Amino acid sequence: MMKTEVLWAAIATIAAIVSALLAFWSTMIAKRALRLSERDTADRARQFSLYLIDGFRYKINAAKEWKSILAFSLSVTNSATQPNSIVRIELHVECLREDGQNVVYTLSHNPKLSESIVGLDLTPFECPVPFGPKEGRSGWVLFSESPVVPPRIRRDRYVIVLTDATGSDVRTTCLIVGELKHNEDQTDKS
């Protein structure tokens, strides 16, 4: 009788050990599956990535008044494994007024401004800009600064903001590298 009890206890102990090993193995597989699922979800939801290639201010003297266009060349990549599109492109001009207050002016991208830039062939983005999975392309974003930003205000920073179809924003800080002027029938580089 004693041998039978010891035998059943040994079998129960072995069964408990096997059960614990199976539970541990199942937990490890579940953790791996969770990591893969999280990575897949992150890849699907990943936003656009931006790279600023060039930026300049183009000034036009029209009717004795200077008008200013800000032009930025961007390389944009859809980092997600799902298609997405850019639905809005804005430029936030962060300025400091004479009274010391910070103010942000928001300018909307206008692809038709490329027609006003004489001597340069710019291919602007046209919103919405559809992108396939992992697709990238380059183009220009153009903003008319004159009617919105006062000419004598101090400009501290330019930030391009792209909004995708999900409502997520991607931002990059920009620099004005150069300035081109068009005065009636001549264009000179400053």
pLDDT value at residue 72:
96
Cis bond upstream, residue 151 (ω within 30): no
pLDDT value at residue 62:
72
Contacts of 122 (CB under 8 A, 6+ apart): 71, 114, 140, 142
Q: Do the beta carbons of residue 129 and residue 78 sit within 8 Å?
A: no
- Type of residue at 180: L
Rounded Cα–Cα distance for residues 92 and 162 (Å):
11
Torsion, CA 157, CA 110, CA 79, CA 166, rounded to 10: 100
Domain ranges of the chain: 1-45, 47-189
Is the pLDDT score of 123 beyond 70? yes
CATH architecture of 47-189: Sandwich (2.60)
Rounded Cα–Cα distance for residues 66 and 111 (Å):
20
* pLDDT tens profile 28-59: 888 888 888 777 666 555 578 899 999 999 98
DSSP 21: H
Mean pLDDT, all residues of the chain:
86
Q: Do the beta carbons of residue 82 and residue 68 sit within 8 Å?
A: no
Other Cβ atoms less than 10 A from the Cβ of 184: the count is 8
Question: Taking Cα atoms as reference points, which of 128, 94, 130 lies closest to residue 111?
Answer: 128
- Better pLDDT: 187 or 169: 169
